[in-house]
Structure 1
């Protein structure tokens, strides 16, 4: 695995974990406690008026105080972890199990958990130092002051944590968080790469040789290091063509890419290419905008289920998806073909198209909303918004196909006459917009 490619996956794994930030904070806390004890031993602050009184406190009282703080911190930590687990359980049942990753990605929760454990670790070090025979008469004035300040800070952190958890499970906040992730994923579709200057050609003859690169293991294609692949293709005078894109499920012997060259490519070069993409056990939104869209769709579909029956959350998801598609309709999506400075094709990736991403956003919601008039009307209004801001043929063709499917399902159900009039009214507006743009 290439270092840069592996770092992207490692960063994503660490970012969505509950252990990394707390561990860093615990290590920092232990080092801070050692530094505080060293300051107390060095008597640096004894003669300072503000700190002088701290070194004349009863040691038994201080030891009891530190023990009390340590016990309180581990209790609060247990409560915080319990609240977090309950929140994850509620999120999984209401919004879907894949949304747990978004809650684990919450830096605020990670810092809160780290704060409590770090303060507990600080107290443990102080208790250990105070129990050592060599430090029986050591006055830990500055260390105790730091411990008390950290304890008061933990109280405010606990208040913040309760407020933060209450906000994090609100449907509108969850939808907006996932929507921001969708926009971030869609922005990467327009990313350009600098065209490198290739070295002298290594062609041996005019015969084109093609070598197949397989996945190597079962799993999802997660990351493609396009910049390094383009650079490698130029260095070795290759054309690399990927037949899969991030998010595709691969078998270990399935073809992922083909390498074209005018000379026999060594196995070492093939291994370098294989190191520049990652196959893992699950999909990630790193380079997979369709996965990010599916998360928002999942919230809407669950909201439309009979057990939840929350059309307002579904409507919110439709609104967010329509705005994201409007952004996509106006964006210049990269074709996936990358060239060197001499205009030679060096890297070809399987690109996303508007119809595929838009269908992923609309199809399931349309299917589950066939008995919900409010959500159906909002879907049609979203199509109206989409066709009004874009004159692209593929956008209009998508809108026409969605309108046809919506009307077909509406006619299959015995809706009230007033409801059908509302649906037909907004459908006619979309058709007028399509006709006006086609003229």
Structure 2
């Protein structure tokens, strides 16, 4: 039981990995010093390491820089962890502290400082004209490694502290625990008519020409199951195979789909709508409302939908050189973009006159440019908005005022002209 508790504490401790790195740097220093004392300065010439005075200054600078860098990194990490605890969950801190990549970065910084101090002592201890070349060279290499680790650490921490990074951190740990506790007794049965995902992730891109070529070679057609931006669990279907699935290389086809932890703008315009709506909803959320931000977001949603109102949408069918359909891709159409832009905002903005008036103005303007077959989606949003506003206000005059079309939210509506009442 003592051993089990001890191992658990070691796994949960932030300090153990940096401490091991420091001990390793001390051992490395003893080895390099022994080599230098055995061979003198014959292994590494002074032209590479520098003169004793230069080496002493450089090592002093490295040591002081590493102390400052380590202190700064730990301070910033502490603040970032506190922000993550407040933004996401206080229970996320343990997963962040157990992140081995961060612990190795701290250990490298501390090791470089320790090694530089020990190397500086050796430089001052030897004859004035000699330099412990191997020791100094290793100190320089550790300094360069620390610089590289700093940039990698910044990149890693920036990714880890995103919402997707934190979710993946916990999700990956959970998946590993499930695999250990409930090991698979046999691989899942192969399904010849389905191309399964090799790993979990969000669909962010796919190589359409290569998919068409692979399906053409196999004499089949691929029907994509997830939409761009959908999350696909590991082992879930990526494609349904129509035709001859036996000749299709499933591993190659699965590798032509890019899965990631977070959606991107590269081939997923719906993600831009999603982020704009998120910003607007935050501006409308209680208790700290910022309806002006929501109006600015609706301006951009209005502009983007106006661009799409008269444009053709791809069918999602991709053909090979002979005209055969080889890839069927699910795509988002006009109705989907309208619902993505306004479904949530009509409900969230009903209690804010600025938001409801701006949404009404956007929908009425879009009705003037959208073809007849695309207008039902806009009329549906108007009905949702009216119903939500009716539910939010008891006074009929407030309801009428909240449903006046206004490009500024409150500022340019027809009820704000000379002689117009505040409440219609």
1:359, distance to aligned residue in structure 2 (A): 0.5
Structure 2: segments with no counterpart, 5+ residues: 1-40, 93-103, 163-190, 414-424
How many equivalent residue pairs? Answer: 309
Residue 228 in structure 1 maps to residue 210 in structure 2 = yes
Q: 1:211 to 1:331 in 2, by over 3 A?
A: farther
Structure 2 CA distance for aligned equivalents of residues 44 and 332 of structure 1: 69
Q: Find the counterpart in structure 1 of residue 27 from structure 2.
A: none
CA contact (8 A) 1:211 1:258 kept: no
Larger RCO (alpha carbons 8 Å, 6+ apart): 1
CA contact (8 A) 2:360 2:406 kept: yes
SS at match of 2:203: strand
Q: Find the counterpart in structure 1 of residue 375 from structure 2.
A: 396
1:360, distance to aligned residue in structure 2 (A): 1.4
Q: Find the counterpart in structure 2 of residue 72 from structure 1.
A: 68
Q: Find the counterpart in structure 2 of residue 356 from structure 1.
A: 336
Q: Find the counterpart in structure 1 of residue 359 from structure 2.
A: 379
CA contact (8 A) 1:63 1:130 kept: yes
1:251, distance to aligned residue in structure 2 (A): 7.2
Structure 1 CA distance for aligned equivalents of residues 312 and 132 of structure 2: 67
CA contact (8 A) 2:202 2:263 kept: no
SS at match of 1:334: coil
CA deviations over 1:178-229 (Å, ceiling 9, x no partner) = xxxxxxxxxxxxxxxxxxxxxxxxxxxxxxxx96315468966625432321
Structure 1 CA distance for aligned equivalents of residues 233 and 402 of structure 2: 48
Residue 284 in structure 1 maps to residue 289 in structure 2 = no
Residue 407 in structure 1 maps to residue 386 in structure 2 = yes
1:239, distance to aligned residue in structure 2 (A): 1.9
CA contact (8 A) 1:299 1:314 kept: yes
TM-score (norm 1): 0.54
The one of 207, 210, 224 equivalent to 1:242 is 224
The one of 243, 246, 255 equivalent to 1:266 is 246
Q: Which has the larger radius of gyration?
A: 2
1:422, distance to aligned residue in structure 2 (A): 6.2
Q: Find the counterpart in structure 1 of residue 327 from structure 2.
A: 347
CA contact (8 A) 2:358 2:405 kept: no
Q: 1:411 to 1:377 in 2, by over 3 A?
A: same
Q: Find the counterpart in structure 2 of residue 321 from structure 1.
A: 301
CA deviations over 1:257-277 (Å, ceiling 9, x no partner) = 33333xx54265344334434
Matches within 5 A, 1:149-188: none
Matches within 5 A, 1:29-108: 42-44=45-47, 56=53, 59=56, 66-89=62-85, 92=88
Q: 1:217 to 1:72 in 2, by over 3 A?
A: closer
CA contact (8 A) 1:229 1:273 kept: yes
Q: 1:362 to 1:334 in 2, by over 3 A?
A: same
Structure 2 CA distance for aligned equivalents of residues 321 and 336 of structure 1: 24
CA contact (8 A) 1:74 1:117 kept: no
Structure 1 CA distance for aligned equivalents of residues 194 and 335 of structure 2: 29
Structure 1 CA distance for aligned equivalents of residues 291 and 202 of structure 2: 34
Structure 2 CA distance for aligned equivalents of residues 324 and 247 of structure 1: 19
CA contact (8 A) 1:215 1:251 kept: no
CA contact (8 A) 2:277 2:345 kept: yes
Q: 1:250 to 1:56 in 2, by over 3 A?
A: closer
1:278, distance to aligned residue in structure 2 (A): 6.1
SS at match of 1:338: strand
Matches within 5 A, 1:124-163: 126-127=116-117, 129-131=119-121, 136=126, 137-138=130-131
CA contact (8 A) 1:337 1:349 kept: yes
Q: 1:244 to 1:69 in 2, by over 3 A?
A: closer
Residue 257 in structure 1 maps to residue 257 in structure 2 = no
Structure 1 CA distance for aligned equivalents of residues 196 and 342 of structure 2: 31
Q: 1:238 to 1:423 in 2, by over 3 A?
A: same
SS at match of 1:424: coil
Q: Find the counterpart in structure 2 of residue 31 from structure 1.
A: none
Q: Find the counterpart in structure 2 of residue 309 from structure 1.
A: 289
TM-score (norm 2): 0.56
RMSD (CA atoms): 5.1
SS at match of 2:379: helix
CA contact (8 A) 1:215 1:279 kept: no
More deviation, 233-242/80-89: 80-89
